[in-house]
Chains A and B, each alone.
Chain A
Amino acid sequence: MLSVSLYDGIYSLTFSSTASVSNPVPSLPSPALVHSLGDENRSVLSLVADTDHVYVGGQCQDISVWSKRSYTLKTSLRGHTGSILALELAEEKLWLFSASGDSTVRIWSTVTFAPIYVLHPYLETGAGDLFSLAWNPKLQVIYIGCQNTSLQWFEFSKDQIGQRIQEISSGLSTPSRKVHKFFDSYPQYTHRPADLFANNFGSLSPSFLEGDTSYGAASAFNIPASNVIDSAHYGYVYCMALISPVRTGADDSTLHSDGEYQLLTGSGDETVKIWNCAQSGPAHIHTLDCSHGAVLSLAVQGESVFAGCQDGYVKVFDLETKTLIRTIIVQENIDILSLSVMHSDLFTCSANGQVQRWSPSFNCISSWKAHDGIVLSSSITMSTETNGFVLVTGANDGLVKIWDVVVPLNRDLLSMPNTSPTIDTMTYALSTFVSIPSVSSDPLHRGNCQQAAIWLKKCLRQLGAESTLLPTYELGNPLVLATFCGSQGKHPKPRILFYGHYDVISAPTDGWDSDPFSVDGRNGYLYGRGVTDNKGPIIAIACAAAELLRRRALDVDLIFLIEGEEEVGSIGFMDAVRKHKSQIGHVDAILLSNSTWITEYHPCITYGLRGVVHARVTISSGAPDRHSGIEGGAVTEPMQDMIRLLATLTDGQRKVTIPGFYESVREQTVKEKQLYELLSEVTGSPGSVLSSRWREPSLTVHNLAVSGPGSSTVIPGTVAAEISLRIVPDQDLKTISQSLVSHLQNSFHALRSPNSLFVRIDHTADWWLGDLEDPWFNALETAVCEEWGVQPLRIREGGSIPSIPNLEKEFGCRALHLPLGQSTDRAHLPNERISLSNLRRGKSVVKRFLAKVSDTRAPIIS
Chain B
Amino acid sequence: MCRFVIYKGTSPVQLSHLLTRPCHSIINQAFDSRLRLDHRRPINGDGFGVGWYDTIRDEELGSQPCFFTSVTPAWNNANLARLAEKIKSPLVFAHVRATTAGSLSLDNCHPFVFGKIMFMHNGGIADFHLIKRRLQSGLSDEIFNTIQGNTDSEWAFALFLSKLPDPHAKTFTVKVLQQAMLDTIATLNNYAEEASITEELPSLMNFCVTDGESVVATRYISSRQDEAASLWFSSGTTFSEYMKGGHYKMTKADKRENIIMIASEPLTFEKADWMEIRTNNMVVITPKMNVLQIPIIDKFYVSPSDPAALNRGTDFAAAKGLLSPRNCLSPVQGRDTAPQISI
Contacts and interface: CB of A to CB of B under 8 A. Distances in A.
A450 B331 CA distance: 85
Given A178-B329, A235-B291, A269-B290, A200 B269 contact: yes
B32 A188 contact: yes
Interface in A797-841: none
A142 B321 CA distance: 41
B132 interface: no
Contacts of A200: 23, 269
B33 interface: yes
B303 A230 contact: yes
Interface stretch (A123-131, A458-466, A628-636, A846-854): A123-131
A654 to B, nearest CB: 54
B304 A126 contact: no
Contacts of B274: 125
Interface stretch (B47-55, B183-191, B202-210, B253-261): B253-261
Given A188-B42, A205-B243, A207-B270, A225 B290 contact: no
B21 interface: no
Interface in A94-126: 101-103, 125-126
B293 interface: yes
B275 interface: yes
A234 B329 contact: no
A488 B33 CA distance: 91
A200 B28 CA distance: 14
B292 interface: yes
A335 B256 contact: yes
Given A182-B266, A205-B247, A231-B295, A188 B34 contact: yes
Given A188-B33, A202-B243, A294 B271 contact: no
A491 interface: no
A103 B275 CA distance: 11
B182 to A, nearest CB: 14
Contact of B271 (A83, A183, A238): A183
A490 interface: no
A268 B328 contact: no
Contacts of B304: 230-231
B325 A128 contact: no
A268 B292 contact: yes
A234 B293 contact: yes
Given A180-B271, A181-B329, A230-B305, A59 B253 contact: yes
Interface string B241-263: 00101010001111110000000
A204 B244 CA distance: 10
B330 interface: yes
A180 to B, nearest CB: 7
Interface string B317-332: 0000001011011110
B101 interface: no
Interface string A268-298: 1110000000000000000000000110100
Contact of A43 (B253, B291, B293): B253
B275 A228 contact: no
A430 to B, nearest CB: 35
B40 to A, nearest CB: 12
Interface in A220-259: 225, 228, 230-231, 234-236, 238
B8 interface: no
Interface in A147-202: 147-149, 178-183, 185-189, 191, 193-194, 200-202
A103 B234 CA distance: 13
A82 B254 CA distance: 13
A180 B325 contact: yes
A337 interface: yes
B32 to A, nearest CB: 5
B276 interface: yes
B330 A294 contact: no
A45 interface: yes
A221 B34 CA distance: 30
A396 interface: yes
Contacts of A147: 235, 275
Nearest to A270: B290
B42 A45 contact: no
B294 interface: yes
A374 interface: yes
B305 A188 contact: no
B42 A296 contact: no
Contacts, number: 134
A85 interface: yes
A81 interface: yes
A731 interface: no
B335 interface: no
Interface in A64-95: 81-83, 85
Nearest to A310: B288
Contacts of A230: 303-305
B56 interface: no
A45 B253 contact: yes
B35 interface: yes
Nearest to A206: B242
Contacts of B288: 293-294, 310
B134 interface: no
Contacts of A58: 253
A376 interface: yes
B154 interface: no
B254 A376 contact: yes
B253 A125 contact: no
Contacts of A83: 251-253
Highest count of chain A CB atoms <10 Å: which of B23, B33, B293? B293
Contact of A228 (B255, B305, B331): B305
Contacts of B97: none
Highest count of chain A CB atoms <10 Å: which of B236, B291, B329? B291
Contacts of B303: 230
Contacts of B252: 45, 59, 82-83, 85, 101, 129
Nearest to A335: B256
Nearest to A149: B293
Interface string B285-303: 0101011111100000001
Contacts of B243: 202, 204-205
A767 B330 CA distance: 85
B226 interface: no
B168 interface: no
Given A230-B304, A296-B256, A181 B275 contact: no
Contacts of A207: 270, 272
B152 interface: no
A680 B323 CA distance: 70
Contact of B290 (A179, A193, A228, A293): A293
Contacts of A101: 236, 252, 272
A158 B278 CA distance: 35
A193 B331 contact: yes
A193 B275 contact: no
Contacts of B295: 231
Interface in A304-340: 310, 335, 337
A83 B254 CA distance: 9
B275 A296 contact: no
Contacts of B329: 178-179, 181
A181 B254 contact: no
Given A45-B253, A188-B39, A188-B42, A103 B272 contact: yes
A744 B320 CA distance: 102
Contacts of B34: 181-182, 185-188
28 contacts: A81-B272, A83-B251, A83-B253, A85-B252, A181-B35, A182-B35, A182-B265, A185-B35, A187-B32, A188-B32, A200-B23, A201-B269, A201-B270, A202-B243, A202-B247, A205-B243, A207-B270, A225-B305, A230-B305, A231-B295, A235-B290, A235-B291, A235-B292, A236-B291, A268-B290, A269-B292, A310-B290, A374-B254
The 3 closest A-B pairs by CB, nearest first: A181-B325, A200-B269, A193-B331
Given A182-B325, A294-B290, 12 more contacts: A45-B252, A58-B253, A82-B252, A148-B278, A178-B329, A181-B325, A201-B269, A230-B303, A231-B293, A234-B292, A294-B288, A310-B256
